[in-house]
Structures are given as C-alpha cells and as structure tokens.
Structure 1
C-alpha cells in the first residue's frame, strides 16, 4: 500500500460531524460500578496550583477546529518544563478529551505542562487522520513552547486504549514523512511514549479475534481502516506500532490492565525494544478493568508510574 494511497484515502472522505460522545467516564462508570463498587470517577476539578487554558485550536481540518486544553503548574521553577500530550480512547470512533483531564491535572501538579487533545474520529476521517492530528498537536505544543514555559526538547505523548495505540504510533513514527503530511520547520517528534492499555499489533491472530470479529459490522478497527483485515491488511499492519520499532524509537512505558486483549502485541514489542536497546518498562495495574485510569483508586498508581518513567527518561538536555 503506497504512501499516496494512504493520504488519498484520508483526503477523499467527506467531513462529517464528530461521533457521539458515548465513551466518557460517566458512561464507563455505569458499566463498571456493579463489579467494582469502590471506584469513583477521578475529579476534573482544577486546583489553585494549576492553571487551565481551555478550547485552544491547534489545527483546522476543513471546517472543523481541533482543540486542546492545557494544564500548567502555577508555581515552582522558572526553567522550561517538560510537556505531555494526552490522546483519549474510545475505539477510534468516539470519546472526549475531558477523559484525560484528571490525569493531566495531576501531572501538572507534578510540574509538567499537560495537553489533552481532540482529534478526528473514524466517522469523520479514517486512518491515518488521527495520527496526523496527534502529530499536529505535538507540533503546536512545540511551536508555543516559549509562551507556555515548555522545554521543546522534552515532549512526551500518552494515551489510553485506542488513544494508547495512537500515542504509540505517533511516537514510533518519529521522522516518517507519510505520517506527517503537515510537515514544516517545527518537528512533531516526541522524546517519550506512554501507552496505557492500547494495542501494539492489530495483525496477530489473537488481536484479530477481537478487532476483526465478523459478528461486528463493522468492528471499531474495521470502521477506522475502512475494511476488514482480509481487505485492508496493509493498513492494519501500518497502524501497528510493533512494526515501526527501530533503534531511534523513544523510550516507551506500557501501563496495562488485567484485561490482556487490550494490550496485545505489547510483549512482542517490548522484546523487540529490548533487543534494539530502547528503554522500555511494563507496569501492570493488578485486578483492573479496561479504562482503569478514569477512576480512583487506580489513577494514582497510573500517575506515579508515568511520572517516575518520565523523570528518568525525559531529562533536560545538557
């Protein structure tokens, strides 16, 4: 499948309204609370120690302004801070950036500038549009580093579920032109990746059992790729972070739930990273459902793992 086809496939689709906002902390809580009665939706309240800048347009796609929300530490060092861009989940066809507001706020409390982004979902534009958007968001953060006290050499990307896969693919394709059609003098490269319960390989037999289920017409992945694996195998492979790993891949943290199906390909990817000498870490959050990062008490260990990893691998350049 050629580069021209990928870009043409994305451009040929008519713009549509964003998908319904059905994957939210509230709807997910209603599904999970019968089995996990102790959980609480993590708070989106912005404390006085954090400044929020909401509804910032980072790129326009046709008539659609794609927006992000920024969360910045109020006090502390005057030195440029590391930044982290969060990509929400929702099966590539739904979800809202507010789902990552609680984690972004907690990362801001720890000294990061955090951005939560919206991107084009599959009803509006197919793969690889979401990757183009995530890279555009990174570029926007880097271009506005001076305005918001960001170190442009220390930008991480993170996401959960489908957003974890998008974040990982965004990072492992640093420098791959066909994933970055906007281009320009400002780089979209990231220096670290955090994949929270997102797929690393769409193509394995085990992954296709879920993602290419013929009973689903279409499956979430099938809707994103515009066809089943037998019809669009090149796209299914192209979207798998596993196949883009190289010696220059940024350090990557995998945070995983107890639900194996959502992070398939991770073991193979971690082994490939190890062989190439790329720093990586796997942190399981035991006895958890998918979407655990939306809820207390599981958000705290997720933030702790992310902060610990980034403090080790997202260091200032000397």
Structure 2
C-alpha cells in the first residue's frame, strides 16, 4: 500500500524559537524518502516525529545558509552509525562544494555509509528513472539557491475485468505494460483496451527566494507546494532586500501556478504566532496550510 506523507521537522527562519526548530521536511513517497534542507537539530526532530535515517533515500539542499544545511553534519554521521544499507544521494549547489565537504566530514567518525554526492551547476533535470523526473531551478536569494520539483511519470491502471475478458494474466500483464500491446489468437490487444490513464503526482519545494519566474514554474500545477513565507506584507521591503517571500506573495505564487495545496513554512522569529500569516495567505489562495513542527500532512489524493 502506498504512503505519501510530508513530515514537518522544522519551520523556523534563520533563528529557531522555543516552538520552532530550524528547517527540515521529509516527504515519504512509497519506498522513497525525500529529505529537504536538514537544519540544525534535525536528529531530535526526527526522533520526535518517528522518522528514522533508513527512511531517507535522497537529500536536497537548496543553499548553504546554516538554517538549511547545518543538520547535515550530524545526519551524515548518524546514517553511518545506523548502518543504513541503501545508497543516499545528496543534491546541492555545486558552488557550495567546500561547505558541503566541511559538513560531511566535520568531525572524526567511522564513515561506512554509501553517500552519493550530486552537485548541481545548472538548471534542468537532475534525476530521472522509470518512476520520477526531478528538476532544479535557480531561485532569487542572496546566495545561489535551487528550488526543486518532483514529478511522477504518468502511468496506466490495469482493469482486472478487462484483463480477464482477454485472458491476460501473470507475466503477460507485465509484457503488455512494457510493450504496449499483445498479440493473442491473431488479435492485437492494446494496453489502452484494458487500462485507464493514471496521472502522476507532483510536488515542488520553494525555499528562500524573492518573487521570481522560477518559483512559479517549479510550482506549475503541482499537487503539493512547500513554500517559504518568512514575512507578513507589512515587512515586504525587508523581505525583498533579504531575498524572501511574504505570506501574500507565497499564496499568489500558488494561485498563479494552479497549485492544489500549499504548505507554508520558514517563519521569522519576530512572529510568535502564525494566525496572521494564515489570514494573509488565505485572502489570496484558499487551500493553505501553515506548517507546525513535527506534524504530518497527507499528500493530496491523486487527480482523476
């Protein structure tokens, strides 16, 4: 049974608060575990949220400001300590290679993990297999920053009654899916005859950026957008100067891009509560969720 669920490991901006840890977001997607921006303190947040290192298959770092990457130092060592058996790919801006290396080898430890370094130097597809296409785009921050999009490929759902009608079973089903057709008793059966389309799901991660075309392009028609909302509109000038979004701007990106659900995070410590952030965002876009540390959010159900 598939499980697609986002675990919020931290929601603070540059400075953590009594109730908000630095960044961290784990998207559990069936057998995959996509971890975004592991900030300081992430190991304890994982314990509180019942997240283990063995769940992680890929790590994505948007940029090398501390609140988005300092947790990688401890996490790298924990992955080895836990003897995670599978390889873990780490995607990050190639321009921050020296910072990446410092974080990966910050102290003495027995490094037995299978970590695959995946530096990114340009926009475009950074990973593709038969199931996913993952892309990265430059955002508009004070340092080089990438946003990410995970797109599941479209597939087809096989119809049991139709397969039975043509007596297609066992290995023949897989062959039909691979080839797109089967020849049975002189009749060609197309995969379209025994299945219906199943649209792939998608998510985007947009963190630490001003309003820019890339943010909207990454978010175009996604089922789930995880987006920063560091400031309220009353601090819009400061947001732009520092390379961040207001709640209103984040909601506008979601609306313009046709997003199904947006989860807002990365809140400035000046806001002890998020009620006004939610209120401001909802004035623009209805399906808004303001993230809280250690909560779990289900991926929206697949479009029919």
TM-score, normalised relative to structure 1: 0.33
| Rg comparison, structure with higher value | 2
Please identify which structure carries the higher strand content. 2
More helix by share: 1
Superposition TM-score, scaled by structure 2 size? 0.35
